[in-house]
A and B are shown apart, each in its own frame.
Chain A
Amino acid sequence: MAPRSFARSLRLGVSVLAAVPLAVAAIAAVLAWLIGRDALDPAQAVRIVTVVLMLAALLALGGFAYGRRLARSASEPIERIQATLEALSDGDLDARVRWRGRDEFAGLADSLDRLLDDRVASLNRTIRESEELNDSVIEIMKAVGTIASTKDLSVRVPVTENVTGAIADALNLLTEETGRVLRNVAALSNDVAQATFAVRGQSDLAIQAAAREQREVGLAAGELAQAAQALVTVAQRAHQVNESAARAAVETGAAVRVVGATVHGIVQSRELIRETEKRIKRLGERSQEIGQVVGIIQAIAERTGILALNASMQAATAGEAGRSFAVVADEVKRLSESARESATRIARLVNAIQTGAHETVRAMNEAITQVVEISRMADDAGQAMRRTQHETDSLVANVREIAATADEQARTSSALQARADVIREASAETTRQLRAQSIETRRLVEYARSLVDEVSVFRTEKP
């Protein structure tokens, strides 16, 4: 069976009601036009109008009946729906519309009934779940109360499958983590207590060290004052040394020039000795030639002696007649002996000259060697003096820098002395602060012990 549409019926009725006046008006207009054209007589027109009015009246009556029926078909389901809703609002969850029909109101009532069924089922389910949730919450509250009363973090909250299961699980995790943290806190508290105790000991030592430091700083300040005075003296000495070094540089320069002149003189002496050596060698050669001549003279004297001997023997052979000849021979013999003795003395002298020349040449060679060595040493001395001059110049510059540095050090030492006073004051303040810190550390020890006591209230699982 095809559903009847209330809306379409309503639109149809309205259309019919709207079409009647329009048709009447149109008929009236047509009649008026016909009358105006004299195509229709008034009587006809009256009959036509009458007919039309009667038709209109019929249509109006039919429309009224149709409208009443249409209104009743709409109001009844609405009233049923209203009554159902009122029953629901009064708490009758079983109230339903239960309207049967083929129009929209039947569909609406059916939909409303199904909606109510769903809502009621959902409400019941919600109620049941709410009750389970309440039970779970009660269990959680009991467990938390047990934990709070007994401080036993090993107690576990029952874990359900509803939404409180996650809460219970989270609480268990929380208690477990809290227990672990408390264990760590307890261990850390012990460590803190021990460390604090150690800190207190170190603080006492630091106080003693600070006292010593203060005493040492005082001594250092005094020594710095002495050092400042000493540095002032050093600066004065450095200035004096600077002047002495400058004079030493001038003297070293003069010494370098003297050594250079000495080296030049030694070189000239070496050349002179070499020339003298040559001349002495030539003298030795001449004396050797003299020796050769002396040898010849000795040979001549020897042969003259032999000649004199033979002459004397011949004179002796001649007897008295050879007496004068014997005298001549004897004189020749004496001459030869004298010549031989003189030649022998000359030979000894020549040998002595040669020996002396040889010794002189050897001595001069040694002298040349020594002169060369002395020249080399003088040259080395000159180079050493030049290096000394260079070093002295560098020394002068360094001493000048030392003097300037000593002045700067004296000023710095004065500033250090002032800083030492500041440090001494700071050290005294440090001592005071350390004593205060010691007191606070003692308090911290007490706090740590209290913390250990507080944490030890909780019973936790053994790790």
Chain B
Amino acid sequence: MTARRIDETAPGSLPAARFGVRLAGVAVAMPAGTAMEFVADAAIYPLPLAPARVAGLMQLRGYPLVVLDASLNPQAGGGTTRHDVLVLGQPPQAAALLVDDPPQALPDGAWRAAGGAPPDCAFASALQAGSAGVSQAGARPGGEVPIAERARGVERWHEIDPAQLFDALMRS
């Protein structure tokens, strides 16, 4: 492996403005200022008599966190499960979401904002609200994805505000 100096590897590169993650199959883009932490294979302990949206509890550096399931029909788990989760916020004021895969940085120009909420989405209200309230400075205008970008793998992301996301999930 060739050792490269940091200043040589990313000269003039900016921090990512968004971080994309898939929640119940929906690609959402969260602003980079949100406190987030990805935990792989986190042990989730089911919580009896909890709402269906609550997948269970997990612990992060000694802090118990509530784990929410953003899928349309959450499955009530019988026992302890392991799943990738994204922690939003700073413990102990933080909550976790079940994610399909690790988050990825979305540099400006490398992603497009999706218009409208996909059907059968548990947090559709958050997406509509996010589309209205969140700035789309880094995203390209909506519409059809150009052929060249489609060839490069440019993907559409739904911008979302984490607070509205939690509100939508808790109301669903």
Residues on A facing B (Cβ under 8 Å):
302-303, 305-306, 309-310, 312-317, 319, 322-324, 326-328, 330-331, 334-335, 338-339, 342
Tell me if B6 and A310 are in contact (CB < 8 A).
no
Interface check B32, CB cutoff 8 A: yes
Tell me if A309 and B38 are in contact (CB < 8 A).
yes
Q: Which residues of B contact A331 (CB under 8 A)?
A: 4, 6, 9-10
Tell me if B15 and A310 are in contact (CB < 8 A).
no
Give which listed residue, B1, B9, B19, contacts A313 with CB less than 8 A.
Answer: B19
Tell me if B102 and A309 are in contact (CB < 8 A).
yes
Having A309-B104, A315-B15, A319-B15, one finds 10 other A-B pairs with CB under 8 Å, namely: A302-B40, A306-B102, A309-B38, A310-B36, A312-B16, A316-B19, A317-B35, A330-B9, A331-B9, A338-B1
A3 to B169, CA, bound (A): 210
Instruction: Compute the total of residue contacts between A and B using a CB distance below 8 Å.
Output: 67
Tell me if A313 and B38 are in contact (CB < 8 A).
yes
Tell me if B9 and A316 are in contact (CB < 8 A).
no
* Interface size range on B against A: 20 to 34
Q: Which residues of A contact B79 (CB under 8 A)?
A: none
A and B contact pairs by CB, cutoff 8 A, 15 listed:
A302-B40, A306-B39, A310-B37, A310-B38, A312-B16, A312-B105, A313-B32, A313-B35, A314-B35, A317-B36, A319-B15, A327-B7, A328-B6, A330-B9, A334-B4
Q: Which residues of A contact B4 (CB under 8 A)?
A: 331, 334
Give which listed residue, A310, A314, A316, A330, contacts B10 with CB less than 8 A.
Answer: A330
Tell me if B15 and A335 are in contact (CB < 8 A).
no
A342 to B4, CA, bound (A): 16
Q: Which residues of A contact B7 (CB under 8 A)?
A: 327
Q: Given A317-B33, A317-B34, are A323 and B9 also a contact pair (CB < 8 Å)?
A: no
Tell me if A316 and B6 are in contact (CB < 8 A).
no
Closest to B4 in A: A331
Q: Given A306-B102, A312-B105, A316-B19, are A327 and B10 also a contact pair (CB < 8 Å)?
A: yes
A339 to B2, CA, bound (A): 11
Residues on B facing A (Cβ under 8 Å):
1, 4, 6-7, 9-10, 13-17, 19, 32-40, 102-105
Give which listed residue, A316, A330, A339, A342, contacts B32 with CB less than 8 A.
Answer: A316
Tell me if B33 and A316 are in contact (CB < 8 A).
yes
Task: State the majority secondary structure of interface residues on A.
Answer: helix
Tell me if B15 and A306 are in contact (CB < 8 A).
no
Q: Which residues of A contact B16 (CB under 8 A)?
A: 312, 316, 326
Q: Given A309-B102, A327-B13, A335-B1, are A317 and B32 also a contact pair (CB < 8 Å)?
A: yes
Tell me if A313 and B6 are in contact (CB < 8 A).
no
Q: Which residues of B contact A342 (CB under 8 A)?
A: 1
Q: Which residues of A contact B1 (CB under 8 A)?
A: 335, 338-339, 342
Q: Which residues of B contact A314 (CB under 8 A)?
A: 35, 37
Closest to A311 in B: B37
A339 to B16, CA, bound (A): 23
Closest to B34 in A: A317
Q: Which residues of A contact B104 (CB under 8 A)?
A: 309
Q: Which residues of B contact A302 (CB under 8 A)?
A: 40
A399 to B4, CA, bound (A): 90
Closest to B102 in A: A309
Tell me if A334 and B15 are in contact (CB < 8 A).
no
A326 to B33, CA, bound (A): 13
Closest to A303 in B: B40
Closest 9 pairs (CB-CB, A-B): A316-B32, A326-B15, A313-B36, A316-B15, A310-B37, A327-B10, A331-B6, A327-B6, A317-B35
Q: Which residues of B contact A313 (CB under 8 A)?
A: 19, 32, 35-38, 103
A313 to B88, CA, bound (A): 11
Task: For residue B128, give the distance in angstroms from its CB to the closest CB of chain A.
Answer: 25
A322 to B37, CA, bound (A): 15
A322 to B9, CA, bound (A): 17
A317 to B90, CA, bound (A): 11
Q: Which residues of B contact A305 (CB under 8 A)?
A: 102
Tell me if A306 and B105 are in contact (CB < 8 A).
no
Tell me if A334 and B38 are in contact (CB < 8 A).
no
A330 to B35, CA, bound (A): 17
Closest to B14 in A: A323
Q: Which residues of B contact A327 (CB under 8 A)?
A: 6-7, 9-10, 13
A208 to B150, CA, bound (A): 120
Task: For residue B11, give the distance in angstroms from its CB to the closest CB of chain A.
Answer: 9
Task: For residue B84, give the distance in angstroms from its CB to the closest CB of chain A.
Answer: 9
Give which listed residue, B13, B36, B39, contacts A330 with CB less than 8 A.
Answer: B13
Closest to A326 in B: B15
A309 to B39, CA, bound (A): 10
Q: Which residues of A contact B10 (CB under 8 A)?
A: 327, 330-331
A330 to B107, CA, bound (A): 12
A317 to B16, CA, bound (A): 10
Closest to B104 in A: A309
A328 to B6, CA, bound (A): 6
Task: For residue A424, give the distance in angstroms from its CB to the closest CB of chain B.
Answer: 113
A335 to B9, CA, bound (A): 11
Task: For residue A349, give the distance in angstroms from its CB to the closest CB of chain B.
Answer: 16
Q: Which residues of A contact B37 (CB under 8 A)?
A: 310, 313-314
Q: Which residues of B contact A319 (CB under 8 A)?
A: 15, 33
A314 to B38, CA, bound (A): 11
